[in-house]
Amino acid sequence: MFKKSQKEEEKTKPVKLSAMDEDIVTLLMGRELYGLEILDRLNPDRPIPLSFGSLYPALNRLEKKGLIKWRWGDESEETGGARRKYYRVTGLGATTLHNVQRYRVLLVQRSGETVLRGI
């Protein structure tokens, strides 16, 4: 039997997502958004509003984990302002989110079964 290299272990190791990270990755699925757009779309329905002070560290953390990546926008002074970073989900991010969501469905099903049994 061969021992896995450290890089191989890192690729197969499950990635942890906080509730806030999960919200951000879910919102970014299938689209590119910049920071203010992320806040504007998350905050109306969020029980505790997210601030810039917590959004950008979360985006940096997600990028370091390989779950999202960003690109510079094409904005210029002529088109109306500063350049923006547009964020999107990577393949690893999509897979990680899928696994977390699948787990949540199983958890709800199991808790429903427990409730039905009267436990």
What's the pLDDT tens digit per position in 13-69? 788 899 999 999 999 999 999 999 999 999 999 999 999 999 999 999 999 999 999
pTM, 2 dp: 0.79
Element (H, E) at 95: helix 91-117
What's the pLDDT tens digit per position in 84-110? 999 999 999 999 999 999 998 888 888
Domains, the chain, with CATH or none: 16-117 (1.10.10.10)
- What string of DSSP letters covers 14-47? PPP--HHHHHHHHHHTTS-B-HHHHHHHHGGG-S
Tell which wins on pLDDT, 10 or 92.
92
